[in-house]
């Protein structure tokens, strides 16, 4: 059992030593949770703002006198060996430290996640990302490079994709046929949401307005479900998915196959539902054709066959994520890894009319939102992956509601995320 293995580490005076990037709301939550898990310890925090990195370590229980700021490998090794923690703005530092066992990124930034992951993999470290945006954008490239280096690349559990993978393993191991995998969206979908329209809600929840707007405009949901789809092969039934209203009493009927009165066009689909009763949870609707098994599932109050929905009513996001880091280090087991070929993409759509010279802002901002599309269709359209949008400069006028294409923007070709994505576009060539 994982708990026993972690407890044994603690009893032996040892710990899984974590290097993490990200000092925002997610990072502080992750660090605070690690403080309560036996046999785990955060030893390095990376962030451009090292004062925020210091706050993360304080959340994990470190005293001010135990925190050392340095970009020097030798100093960092010595301080961690003495039981201290290191803060740095250098994304490559942790990858070269013997005193680091596993690396993670706890941000929603594809660029930050790619930089931390690539450095870790090249340094021979296992990497487990709490960053589905980076995985959807360049996960296949990171997976291939990790395989070449003999280390683990994985997305963590806690966010919906990782939780869905655990449920996916469960239903498939029982031999049930997955019809639809998905999540319950926490709020109604409004693709024109921006930091101004959600400012009050963000203030009440103690979150950044951009972050909240990325939930409401659907961008976060699109990334989450694309991450799960690219690990399972499940496909959206249309661009952006359907997102019907449903609750536990109706979801199995809603997602039945069309020939049985539902909306699902083919087994192995991915979608989300709207409505408060399933918000925050993940589900898989299956079809069971064996009459005896149906009788048993009916008796056990799973539903009324032949369609049944297995529902996990919560996801603990960064609070649960440390367990994936532990499984990777102790058991050599990844939680979620993308397939060799993508099935979906999150494409960018203009939120407003864009003029040449404008710079695209971040997820949940004023300039674009993300929509899930089948990978083959996204390629035909020349659609720009949404993960490459932040910081890109508009090269031609784009109308509101138009799909943003590769040729519509100027990308920073020197950035890690663009270099990885360019290599990922080349079939069978993802070395760096």
Distance CA 168, CA 156 (A): 15
The DSSP secondary structure of 308-370, one letter per residue, reads EEEEE----HHHHHHHHHHHHHHH---SB---SS-SEEEEEEESS-B-TT-B---TTSSSEEE
Are the beta carbons of 99 and 77 closer than 8 angstroms? yes
What per-residue confidence (pLDDT) applies to 429?
43
Distance CA 264, CA 254 (A): 8
What per-residue confidence (pLDDT) applies to 427?
58
Q: What residue segments make up the domains of the chain, in order of their start?
A: 2-159+318-331, 160-316, 344-425
Distance CA 147, CA 162 (A): 20
The sheet with strand 177-184 has its strands ordered as 235-236, 269-273, 177-184, 282-287, 307-312
Tokens matching residue 379: 């390629």
Q: How far is CA 59 from the centre of its chain?
A: 23
Are the beta carbons of 159 and 315 closer than 8 angstroms? yes
**186 falls in which pLDDT band (50, 70, 90)?**
confident
The yes-or-no answer to whether 2-159+318-331 and 344-425 have a common fold is: no
From the options 3.40.50.300, 3.40.30.10, 3.40.50.720, 3.40.50.2300, give the CATH code of 2-159+318-331: 3.40.50.720
| Percentage of residues of the chain with pLDDT beyond 90 | 95
Chain-wide mean pLDDT for the chain? 96
The DSSP secondary structure of 3-39, one letter per residue, reads HHHHHHHHHTT--EEEEEE--SHHHHHHHHHHTTSTT
In this predicted model, what pLDDT tens digit does every residue of 242-272 receive, in sequence order? 999 999 999 999 999 999 999 999 999 999 9
Domain boundaries 344-425, CATH class: alpha beta
In this predicted model, what pLDDT tens digit does every residue of 322-355 receive, in sequence order? 999 999 999 999 999 999 999 999 999 999 999 9
What per-residue confidence (pLDDT) applies to 430?
44
The DSSP secondary structure of 129-156, one letter per residue, reads ES-HHHHHHHHHHHHHHHHHHT--EEE-
Single pTM value for the model = 0.96
Tokens matching residue 312: 């996990």
Tokens matching residue 83: 């039981």
Number of neighbours of residue 51 by Cβ within 10 angstroms: 10
Instruction: Tell whether the model's pLDDT for residue 202 goes beyond 90.
Output: no
Are the beta carbons of 330 and 17 closer than 8 angstroms? no
Tell me how far apart the terminal alpha carbons of the chain are, to the nearest angstrom. 37
Distance CA 406, CA 181 (A): 30
């Amino acid at each position: 059992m994982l708990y026993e293995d972690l407890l044994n580490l603690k009893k032996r005076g040892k710990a899984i030593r974590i290097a993490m990037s990200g000092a925002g709301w997610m990072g502080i939550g992750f660090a605070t949770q690690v403080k309560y898990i036996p046999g785990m310890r955060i030893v390095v925090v990376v962030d451009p703002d090292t004062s925020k990195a210091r706050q993360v370590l304080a959340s994990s229980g470190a005293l001010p006198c135990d925190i050392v700021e340095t970009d020097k490998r030798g100093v960092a090794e010595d301080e961690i060996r003495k039981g201290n923690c290191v803060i740095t703005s250098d994304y490559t530092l942790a990858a070269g430290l013997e005193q680091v066992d596993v690396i993670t990124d706890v941000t929603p930034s594809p660029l930050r996640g790619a930089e931390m992951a690539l450095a870790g993999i090249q340094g021979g470290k296992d990497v487990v990302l709490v960053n589905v945006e980076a995985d959807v954008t360049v996960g296949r490239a990171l997976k291939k490079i990790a395989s070449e280096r003999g280390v683990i690349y994985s997305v963590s559990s806690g966010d919906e994709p990782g939780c869905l993978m655990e449920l996916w393993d469960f239903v498939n191991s029982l031999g049930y046929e997955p019809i639809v995998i998905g999540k319950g969206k926490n709020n109604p979908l409004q693709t024109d949401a921006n930091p101004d329209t959600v400012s009050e809600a963000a203030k009440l929840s103690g979150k950044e307005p951009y972050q909240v707007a990325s939930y409401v405009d659907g961008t976060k949901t699109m990334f989450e479900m694309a991450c799960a789809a690219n690990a399972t092969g499940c496909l959206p039934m249309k661009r952006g998915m359907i997102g019907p209203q449903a609750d536990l009493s109706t979801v199995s009927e809603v997602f039945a196959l069309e020939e049985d009165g539902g909306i699902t066009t083919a087994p192995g689909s991915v979608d989300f539902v709207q409505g408060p009763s399933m918000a925050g949870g993940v589900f898989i609707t299956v079809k069971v054709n064996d009459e005896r098994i149906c009788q048993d599932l009916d008796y056990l109050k799973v539903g009324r066959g032949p369609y049944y929905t297995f529902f996990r009513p919560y996801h603990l996001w960064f609070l649960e994520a440390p367990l994936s880091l532990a499984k990777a280090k102790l058991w050599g087991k990844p939680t979620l890894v993308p397939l060799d070929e993508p099935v979906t993409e999150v494409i960018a759509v203009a939120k407003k009319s864009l003029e040449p010279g404008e710079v695209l802002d971040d997820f949940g901002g004023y300039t674009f939102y993300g929509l899930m599309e089948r990978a083959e269709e996204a390629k035909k359209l020349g659609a720009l992956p949404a993960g490459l949008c932040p910081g890109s400069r508009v090269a031609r006028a784009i109308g509101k509601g138009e799909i943003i294409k590769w040729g519509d923007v100027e990308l920073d070709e020197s950035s890690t995320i663009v270099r990885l994505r360019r290599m990922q576009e080349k079939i069978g060539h993802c070395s760096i």
